[in-house]
Amino acid sequence: MFYSIYYFTRTQRPEVKAHWNKHKGQRCFILGGGPSLLKIDPKPLENEVTFGVNCIFLIYEWLGFQPTYYAVEDWLVYEDRFDDIRTFVTESHCFFPIQFSTEVFDRGNHSYFRAMYDFDVHIGWPNFSKNASKLIWSGGTVSYVCLQLAFYMGFSEVYLIGFDHNYTKPSDVKIKGNAWTSQRNDPNHFHPDYFGKGKRWHDPRVDRMAKAYKRAKQAFESDGRRIYNATVGGKLEVFERVDYQSLF
């Protein structure tokens, strides 16, 4: 952990606090990175509140717009895509861990949150922050960050799209520490260069993700709110499924 929980729970990030209940009672869509994302018609999303993550900029042309919000929590994505994020993510309001804040990276559309990277079950993992201005917990996927932001912003309904929840580990991936480096096109996401040749990623622990998603579900439903899975296909069964087209 980069900071103590004591420090986190006593201070607030003002630029994140500004988003408290900003969308109270509204709905939003979180766009995942799975290949199934390309199976939907993105046009209806243009007038919705949306979250994009990581390499969503690779399909901006197909999408037809930039998501309302954008988030990255993985330092490998931050380092490998530093220039891409600064170049292409121009219209979304961005959320990053404060460790990413530097003079050359900071922009007016950037907000920084205190990220708690910890997977220790002895301190209650998976944890879910209901006050994103103080801290946001890691859940093994950037979508967990988006869910905590969505809760803080007051959304009553959250719809997940492109959450295939299914990964293939290429046989030739190079492993150094906890970082994997791809040697070929990415078979697990909506674009071959998402984590394509030369790009680094972490072991996509879907079992750990599922536990985090269950915690998010509990947090939303205990507050009278819901998370739905509007993905076309995929293997994520934590949330109630809904048909994407029926939402418009």
Q: Flag whether 153 is in a domain.
A: yes
Residue 65 banded pLDDT, cuts 50, 70, 90? very high
Q: pTM for the full model?
A: 0.94
- Per-residue model confidence as pLDDT tens digits over 128-150: 999 999 999 999 999 999 999 99
Q: How many domains does the chain have?
A: 1
Mean pLDDT of the chain: 93
Q: How buried is 84 (Cβ within 10 angstroms: 0-12 exposed, 13-18 middle, 19+ buried)?
A: middle
Check whether 78 has a pLDDT greater than 80. yes
Query: Which CATH number characterizes residue 70's domain?
Result: 3.90.1480
Does residue 55 sit within a domain?
Answer: yes
Mean pLDDT in residue range 106-125:
83
Q: What is the pLDDT of residue 152?
A: 98
Is there a domain that residue 145 lies in? yes
pLDDT in tens, 201-216: 988 899 999 999 999 9
Q: 42 is in which domain, residue-wise?
A: 5-165+218-247
pLDDT over 80 (residue 121): no
Closest CA to 95 of 145, 137, 26: 145
User: How do 179-181 and 157-161 pair as beta strands?
Assistant: unpaired
Amino acid 5: pLDDT: 53
Confirm whether 204 is domain-assigned.
no
Please, which contacts does 109-114 make with residues 24 or more away whose CB atoms are closer than 8 Å? 111/13, 111/15, 111/16, 111/19, 112/13, 112/15, 112/16, 113/13, 113/16, 113/145, 114/3, 114/8, 114/13
| 3-class DSSP string for the chain | CCCCHHHHCCCCCHHHHCCCCCCCCCEEEEECCCHHHHHCCCHHHHHCEEEEECCHHHHHHHHCCCCCEEECCCHHHHHHCHHHHHHHCCCCEEEEEHHHCCCCCCCCCEEEECEECCCCHHHCCCCCCCCCCCCEECCCCHHHHHHHHHHHHCCCEEEEECCCCCCCCCCCCEEECCEEECCCCCCCCCCCCCCCCCCEECCCCHHHHHHHHHHHHHHHHCCCCEEEECCCCCCCCCCEECCHHHHC
Nearest residue to 28 via CA among 137, 140, 152, 141 = 152
Average pLDDT rounded to a whole number, residues 87-95: 97
Of the candidate ranges 3-12, 121-130, 144-153, the one whose mean pLDDT is the lowest = 3-12
Average pLDDT over residues 139-166: 97
Query: 8-17, 20-29, 123-132: which range is least confident on average?
Result: 8-17
Instruction: Judge whether 192 lies within some domain.
Output: no
- 109 in any annotated domain: yes
User: Do the domain assignments include residue 56?
Assistant: yes
Could you read off the pLDDT of 189-203 as tens digits, one per residue? 999 999 999 999 988
Q: What is the pLDDT of residue 11?
A: 80
Residue 177: its pLDDT value, please?
87
What integer is the mean pLDDT of 5-12?
62
Domain membership of residue 149 (yes or no) is yes
